[in-house]
Chains A and B, each alone.
Chain A
Amino acid sequence: MSDPTDMQPDDMLAMDFALGALDRPARKSAEARLRSDPAFRARVEGWQALLAPLDAETETVLPPGSVWAGVLDEIEPQRLSSPGPTTQSETKGLWHNLAFWRGLGIAGPALAAVALVAVNPTAPPVVTAPSDDQLAAAAPAQLSTSLAGADGAPLLAATWDPLRGTVVLTPVAERDDPDRDVELWVIEGDKPPRSLGIIEIATPNAHAISSQVVSGLQPGSVLAISIEPIGGSPTGLPTGPVVATGKLSAV
């Protein structure tokens, strides 16, 4: 009666993901689906809701105070820029520097510029704005940008479609590092970078990101891609090399 073969493959995959039983490649692939496929996400959430009451039996364990201190270090902007007694001795570097992101966000009057940022671990970043030849429309139907790597080769085309409420990312080059995830960020005005999640750019398929994640993107918002540990940035801000950025412009 409840033979698993009666299940739709998507439902089976959703169950496996919610259970936590998938190996790493299958899990990453399912995560990409979660971000781009609301129907699949709803299936996963259904299974999560079914299984979640199991957590009630898990013994609660009081974490040490250092955990909250670490959280606070990450979420309070003034602590990021102060050299106070933070336990986060790692160099936070450029990507925690709000002034840098602010500068990037307002660099140049032309909203349509595509900015390429090349970063290597030892040199300061080189920021260029190669093209100022378009002006943003006041009420754009779509916003798009191309995100290029340090060598100038385009990695991704990104289009924000406000009607469908999605960002569609179309990889134009194959790139695969199995030990790293690729995380997409948006920088709006002078706010800190906001994660749009892990993206899969190893395969040349378009991926959509849901409207809830990207609501309200404006021309001039900067999309950036950083290379992060598996699972995404552990801090909530970019930690790895930023391989590409692009400013959204009207099309």
Chain B
Amino acid sequence: MSSAAELARLLAKASEGDTAAFRDFYDRTSAKLFGVILRILPERGEAEDVLQDVYVTIWRKAAEFDSSRASPITWTATIARNRAIDRLRAKGSRPTSPLEDAGLVEDCAPLADVQIDTARGAASVHAALAMLDPRQAAAIRSCYFEGLTYEELAAREGVPVGTLKSWVRRGIMRMRAAMGAAEGHGEHA
């Protein structure tokens, strides 16, 4: 069972140079991160390159992990998403599938150990997404999962960029409102 505390402990040992602990951390998290990267970079060899970079980065930054700011899996998945998006942006645009294909995914993947920490949050975020206009939800998903820019998505949808931006932002604001203030970040409106 990979609780956040257990992953944090492995990260702390890794930061002291313990490669066995880091291997353990890798074994518990790499399938998750590979999945995240593959949605942004479907080409497998490229995704493998990025995954390798991501773990080297995690190893080097392990001492910077701060459990008061993020869970270990959120921290590592964020590094993976950012690296994958950086790679995607560096390549320029790519062919994308129409938004209609990006509808709600019904077949949730089997929960891996590391997902148990976020299962409750996932139920909540999915409930919040489900209450949005389906195309609004699909747009949010396309940005988040595929790493599409507002500009790319607007072109695909044939709507002005400004319209799409406000559409997506409004949707995320509604999600936050629906999920309550539990996340603890600042309210600004």
Contact = CB atoms under 8 A, between A and B. Distances in A.
Do these two chains really belong together in a complex?
A: yes
Interface of A: 1-8, 11-12, 15-16, 19-24, 27, 42-43, 45-64, 66-68, 70-72, 74-76, 179, 194-195, 212-213, 229-232, 234-236
Given A51-B144, A213-B64, A6 B189 contact: yes
A7 B169 contact: yes
Contacts of B49: 234
A48 B85 CA distance: 15
Contact of B118 (A21, A52, A212): A52
A57 B105 contact: yes
Interface in B1-60: 19, 22-23, 26, 30-32, 34-36, 38-39, 48-49, 51-53, 55-57, 59-60
Contact of A50 (B105, B126, B153, B176): B176
Given A2-B177, A2-B189, A15-B172, A49 B109 contact: no
B135 interface: no
Nearest to B185: A46
Interface in B142-176: 143-145, 147-151, 153, 165-166, 168-170, 172-176
Given A19-B140, A48-B74, A63-B48, A236 B60 contact: yes
Given A53-B121, A229-B90, 14 more contacts: A6-B189, A7-B173, A21-B143, A46-B184, A48-B78, A50-B175, A51-B125, A52-B121, A57-B108, A58-B32, A58-B39, A60-B110, A75-B19, A212-B66
A34 to B, nearest CB: 10
B95 interface: no
B147 A236 contact: no
Contact of A60 (B35, B69, B121): B35
Q: Classify the secondary structure of A's interface with B.
A: helix
Nearest to A34: B82
A67 B85 contact: no
Interface residues on B, range: 35 or more
Contacts of B188: 6-8, 11
B85 A20 contact: yes
Nearest to A6: B189
A97 B55 CA distance: 21
Interface of B: 19, 22-23, 26, 30-32, 34-36, 38-39, 48-49, 51-53, 55-57, 59-60, 64, 66, 69-71, 73-74, 77-78, 81-83, 85-87, 89-90, 105, 108-112, 115, 118-119, 121-122, 124-126, 129, 140-141, 143-145, 147-151, 153, 165-166, 168-170, 172-177, 179, 183-186, 188-189
Contacts of A64: 48
Contacts of B179: 50
A75 B22 contact: yes
A62 B26 CA distance: 11
Contacts of B86: 27, 230-232
A50 B144 contact: no
A60 B183 contact: no
B60 A56 contact: no
A64 B57 CA distance: 19
A76 B89 contact: no
Given A4-B173, A19-B143, A53 B122 contact: yes
A75 B83 contact: no
B89 to A, nearest CB: 4
Contact of A67 (B32, B48, B144, B177): B48
A195 B60 contact: yes
Contacts of B59: 71, 74-75, 236
B48 A66 contact: yes
B53 A16 contact: no
A42 B32 contact: no
| Most B CB within 10 A of own CB, among A52, A55, A59, A213 | A55
23 contacts: A7-B189, A27-B86, A45-B185, A48-B74, A50-B179, A50-B185, A54-B125, A54-B145, A55-B36, A55-B115, A55-B118, A56-B118, A56-B122, A57-B105, A60-B31, A61-B31, A63-B30, A67-B48, A71-B52, A71-B55, A75-B60, A230-B87, A231-B90
